[in-house]
Structures are given as C-alpha cells and as structure tokens.
Amino acid sequence: MTKKLVTQAIMQCNDQGNKAFVPYIMAGDGGLQTLKKNILFLQEAGATAIEVGIPFSDPVADGDVIQQAGERALAEGITLRKIMKELASFKEEVKIPLVIMTYLNPVLSYGLQSIAADCEASGVYGLIIPDLPLEESGLLKDALKDTEVALIQLVSLTSPTERIEAIAKAAEGFIYAVTVNGITGVRSSFTEELEGHLERLKAASSVPVLAGFGISTPEHVRTLGGLADGVIVGSAIVTALHEGDYEKVRTLINASKNQLTNS
Amino acid sequence: MTTETKGRYGKFGGQFVPETLMTALQELERAYEEAQLDPTFSKELDYYLKEFVGRETPLFFAERLTKHAGGAKIYLKREDLNHTGAHKINNSLGQALLAIRMGKKKVVAETGAGQHGVATATACALLGLECVVFMGKEDIRRQELNVFRMELLGTKVVSVDKGSGTLKDAVNEALRYWVSNVEDTHYILGSALGPHPFPQIVRDFQRVIGDETRRQIVEHEGRLPNAVVACIGGGSNAIGMFHPFVDDQDVKLFGVEAAGSGISTGKHAAAIAGKQEGVLHGAYMYVLQDDDGFIQEAHSISAGLDYPAVGPEHCHLADIQRVQYDSVTDQQALEAVQLLSRVEGIIPALESAHAVYYAVQLAKEMKEDQLVVICLSGRGDKDMQTVRDALGGQSI
C-alpha cells in the first residue's frame, strides 16, 4: 500500500497555492452528536484534513485547553470504540482524510489488528500516537502495513540532526513538526531558530511537513505555514468550537489560503 | 508486544514517551553510562550515603516478632533509619548528583506519600539545586506535614487537581513540566517506573539495600536468607532489595501489593494481581485500567502504594515466576503497624507494614531454623494521622 491519501491531500492543497490547514478537534467535546457537525463544518470551511483527538485519562503531552476538553469528553462517556463507530456512520459525507490522535493505551485496548482493520471504514487514513516514538513504532507499523493508514510521527525541531533525519526517512503521511519544546497549547512567540530547523527538516523529508503546537492566531498560521507545508491548529480550534465561535475558525483557516509556497 | 528495544524486561518496559522527551532520555542514558564508569561518581555518592544519609542501615534481628510468629527467624532491614525516614533518599541523592553531572540546575519530581518529595527536596537543598515537586491534591490533604517539610527545605510544591489528584496525575504533571523545561531541568522519578533508563537508574541506586542485606545476613547467620519480603507500589524498595538475590534460586522473593479494601471490591492498587497489560508513564507494565484502556485510580490506605501500575522489571519477574507477588489489605497493614510498634518498638510506614504483615504469615509456615528478611522501607511518623483516623480514634 502506498499510504498516500493524506500526503496527496496536502500536496494538492499546496499545488493550488494554499498551505495545508489541519484543525484538531476533541472528539465528543460537547457530546457525541457534535462530532459530525464539527467535521462537516471544518470540511466546508476549507480544512485539508482533520485531526480527531480521542480523550484519555492521562494525556501527558497535552496542555490545559486540550486536557479540559478531554475531561469534558470523558464525562460524556466518549471512547475510541464509540468514535470509530460514529465516524463510520457518516463516512460517505466526509471527503477529506481524517487522522486519529490518541495515546497508545486505548489503541492497545482496542487491539492493534482491530484498529488497523477498522480505520478505513471510518474514513481514518492516519494515526498520531504521541507516546509512540520511532523506536517503539514497529508494533503498530506492522499492523498497518497492508492498509492506507499512515502512522504519522512527530518530530521535535530541537532533536539532534541524526534523529530528525531518521524520523524523516521513516515518515508516512506527513511529518508533525513540534515547533516548541513543550506540550500543546497557545503561545505568543516562537524561537528564531525555527526557520532554519523547518528548512532542514523539509530538505530531509519526502513527505510534507506540517508545523504544530502553539499555533493560535492567523498571523502564526501565515508565518509558520510559510515556513512549512501547512499547519496543525489544536487548542485555538478546540476553544473556538467549545465557545461556538465559528467565525474565528474560518479566519484561522482562511489565513492558510493563497500563500505562495516558498520552498 | 514483540518490539524489542533497549530497556526491556522481557516484554515490559520500553520508552513510550512524547518525541519531545526522547532526546532528554537519550542524554540521560549517556550521562548515566558515563557516571557508572567514573569512579569519582560512585565515590561521591558513597560519601553522601555514609556521611549524610547514615548508611549502612542495620539488619536487625526482630526477636520478639519472631517469637510472636513462632516460625522462621525474622530480620528487618532498617531503611526507616535513613535520613528523611525512608529508602527514597538513596535514589534522590544519586539522581541529584547525576543532574549536576549533566549540568542541570533544576530538578522536578512527583510525590505520592511525600517521602520521595521530601527526599528529593533534601538532596536538592544539600547540593544547591532548585526543586519543584508535583503532588496530587488528595495526597496533599493526606500528607500535609510532608508538604510543609518540603517547603521548609526550599522546594516549591505544586498541587495537582487534575484527574484523580493522586500520584499518577502528579507524574503526568511532572512529565509535562519536564517536557517544557528539559534544557535546564532533570526529572528525578521516584520509583522503578517510567521510560528507560529510569527503571534501571532507580534500581541501581536502590540496590544498595539488597547489597548490604546480603552481606549483613551472612555476617549474622553465615548464610543467605530463605525468604525476602518487600512491599510494592511502583516497586523501588523491592527491586533494590531483590535485585542482588535474583540469581540465588534458593532465596524466595515475595513482593506485596496493596489490596486496599480487598481485590474483589475493585478498590485496590494491586496491578500485578489485576493481570492487565498496558502503557502508562512511558512503560509497558501491568496497569489497572478499564475496557477502553483508560487508567483507573488505585486505592490504598498507604499513599506510597497508591499507584495503578508496577514497575516493568517487577512485571517481568512476575511473568517468569522468579518473584511471587501477593497482596495485603488496608486492614491487615493497620494490624501490622500496631504489632510491630508493640513488639519491637518500631513504628513502620503503612507501606512497609504490608510487607510486615505478609512476612509474619510466611514465617509462621516456615521452620525455626529458616530466615526471613523484611525490607522495612520507611518509618511511620508521616502516617500517624491516617492510622489514628483509621483506628477510629480508639485507644490502643
């Protein structure tokens, strides 16, 4: 299998002079019924793909905003199984690839072979597992090898060059470049070395590079989108959807459009 | 799980952490390997263990407890006599020295009962490191005085009210803090848990317990013990005690988990008894969890055993049946606190009382010429309020 569906969606977007915009949502924040509504809204608003977060009891890589959204979703009784089933129920209406972000333990509990078998039927073409680094990724890669589902790796821009290159070489779907040292959440500034780091990463990678962690304003989207092939926006989207501020979501997505690629 | 990497104990262990921590773990691994090869490092650690902590700790023949049990001779490894009152300081000092070697100026730690927090705050005060300790809101309530101790030692204690507000949530928060401050901060993990190389580092710094015990029992009795008993939360005192005996097939090893209100009630902290495998805090272990893979809260009267998993090396030792793991309830531990206090004049920590209870039952079934060693991991001063409340304020 080629695992190119997510990659193609991003490249097509770049070919049209736009940067990819991948919003993160917390599945079931506001109840299971909001999942379809939010996904269809984001699709219509121009998202390139959607990262669907699964709540977890111990989300170590997440900051306050996503933790709180996760706790709201957990209180609604949301689980990976429920989300997979719900996604499958309106798969025909979703034209952009979905990517599931979940910690490893719920996946182990679901079963590696089961999730590999169920993803495509739910319109899921990528998995992001923040606590599954390259060294441990083999167990899930094996299970996914005959599917269209990419196992998307995160890369920390402050990692040593050899590590960044090793991750870039093994990458599927896209590379999720963590633009700050830390957990998810809104930030006001990014380090100056970022530009060089992103350029080196793009040079080493055969799949698109999306920047994420801390991107919260249209200006961030333009700046970081300009340095990468697109952006992932999490906490700012989660907050806007929680507050029902759909205009803010549109403004963020629109900031990724009509950008000349500088690569 | 068939993926084989470093830091595995059979199928358990590994490095299941966010990418942003991988570089820090690899740096720690290198620094630790170098430290192990550097004789000045062990010399410095030995100096502090002797002159500051007060090692070696005695291996005490508990004559009246032996008589009470009416079977094997019972010895107590007195880790409660360490400075700060528990075995935790062995690891905190070792890792604080490691932090200095790595050029880190700050330390972050989690704590459950507060013993590891106090030990780490102490090591940081001694060595001039800045220290932040994350502690669950519920544990802060249970161990108020330990919070004050840490503050007195110059440490900043941060309350964690997320999740269940206990040890596992404090670890989550400490990990988040470490991810964000990794450049100048070392994480002193307190038990033989977490991603590689932590389980190995913690074990190595705690194995002084088993090394001393091995030498002392031979001095006392001219032979190795028949059985060694230790309590298990994450498992640091137990792994330190067991490790030097693992190759001695004639020495039976017993790990005692916290059965809380009883395994059948679901309110317990006995992850090995639960037999469910999973990933928590960077390692593949036996983990208390529900059918959807969400981590469950552990329950024990002893805050130090109140963790929903058991360190990976213990999981492996359980799997290969080298160590026998059983559990003791809150009620039984309370009985043992009273028993040891009365017959030996030693008030044990509630954690250690689990081992005491189990060892007494075990000794009863053994012959009089056989030897049992209990790892008395800590003293009970910190638990006085809890014990008094649990005994319903009754006069004893």
pLDDT in tens, B242-269: 999 999 999 999 999 999 999 999 999 9
* Sequence-separated (6 or more) residues with CB below 8 Å from residue B321: none
Supply the residues of B annotated as catalytic.
88, 110, 377
Q: How far is CA A67 from the centre of its chain?
A: 16
The pLDDT confidence band at residue A260, using thresholds 50, 70 and 90, is low
Model ipTM value? 0.93
**Cis previous bond, A55, omega within 30:** no
Q: Which residues of B touch A67 (CB under 8 A)?
A: 162
Instruction: Give pLDDT tens digits for B122-144.
Output: 999 999 999 999 999 988 987 88
Mean per-residue pLDDT for B198-202? 98
Query: Touching check for A59 and chain B: CB below 8 Å?
Result: yes
The tokens 């003791």 sit on which residue?
A: B328
% of chain B at pLDDT higher than 70: 98
- Any idea how long chain B is? 396
Predicted confidence at residue B1, as pLDDT, reads 45
Under an 8 A CB cutoff, do A182 and B17 touch?
A: no
Q: Which two tokens stand for residue B347?
A: 């008030």
How far apart, in whole angstroms, are the C-alpha atoms of residue A45 and residue A119?
A: 24
Q: A9-65 pLDDT, tens per residue? A: 999 999 999 999 999 999 999 999 999 999 999 999 999 999 999 999 999 999 999
SS (H, E, C) chain A: CCCCHHHHHHHHHHHCCCCEEEEEEECCCCCCCHHHHHHHHHHHHCCCCEEEECCCCCCCCCCHHHHHHHHHHHHCCCCHHHHHHHHHHCHHHCCCCEEEECCHHHHHHHCHHHHHHHCHHHCEEEEECCCCCHHHCHHHHHHHCCCCCEEECEEECCCCHHHHHHHHHHCCCCEEEECCCCCCCCCCCCCCCHHHHHHHHHHHCCCCEEEECCCCCHHHHHHHHHHCCEEEECHHHHHHHHHCCHHHHHHHHHCCCCCCCCC
On chain A, the residues whose CB falls within 8 A of the CB of B176 are 60-61, 63, 183
DSSP state of B262: B
Put simply, the answer to whether B280 touches A178 (Cβ < 8 Å) is no
Q: Does B78 touch chain A (CB under 8 A)?
A: no
Q: What is the mean pLDDT of chain B?
A: 95
Question: Do residue A135 and residue B180 have CB atoms under 8 angstroms apart?
Answer: no
Q: Give me the mean pLDDT over the A243-256 stretch.
A: 96
Which amino acid type is present at position B352?
A: S
Distance CA A175, CA A159 (A): 14
Cα–Cα distance for residue pair B21/A181, rounded to 1 Å: 9
Closest CA to B31 of B98, B89, B83, B90: B98
* B239 has a pLDDT exceeding 50: yes
Angle at B185 between CA B183 and CA B189, to 5 degrees: 130
Tell me which H or E stretch contains B25: helix B19-37
Angstrom distance (rounded) from CA B112 to CA B122 = 16
Which one of A62, A118, A172, A229 is the catalytic residue?
Answer: A62
A136 catalytically annotated: no
Which of the four pLDDT bands, split at 50, 70 and 90, describes residue A261? very low
Of A109, A133, A156, the CB nearest to B278: A109
Query: Mutate which of A105, A159, A164 to test chain B, going by most B C-beta atoms within 10 A?
Result: A105
A177-208 pLDDT, tens per residue?
998 766 777 666 666 778 888 888 999 999 99
Q: Is B94 helix (H, G, I), strand (E, B) or coil?
A: helix
**Which residue is closest to A70 within chain B, CA to CA?**
B163
Helix or strand run (H / E) with residue B353: helix B350-364
3-state SS assignment for residue B100: helix
Q: Rounded distance, CA A231 to CA A221, Å?
A: 7
Q: Do A183 and B16 touch (CB under 8 A)?
A: no
Give pLDDT tens digits for A135-148.
999 989 999 999 99
Q: In terms of Cα–Cα distance, which of A22, A16, A18, A15 is closest to A173?
A: A22
Measure Cα distances from A200 to A68, A179, A203, A215, A262 in Å.
35, 13, 5, 20, 14
Examine the residue annotation and report whether A192 is marked as an active-site residue of this protein: no
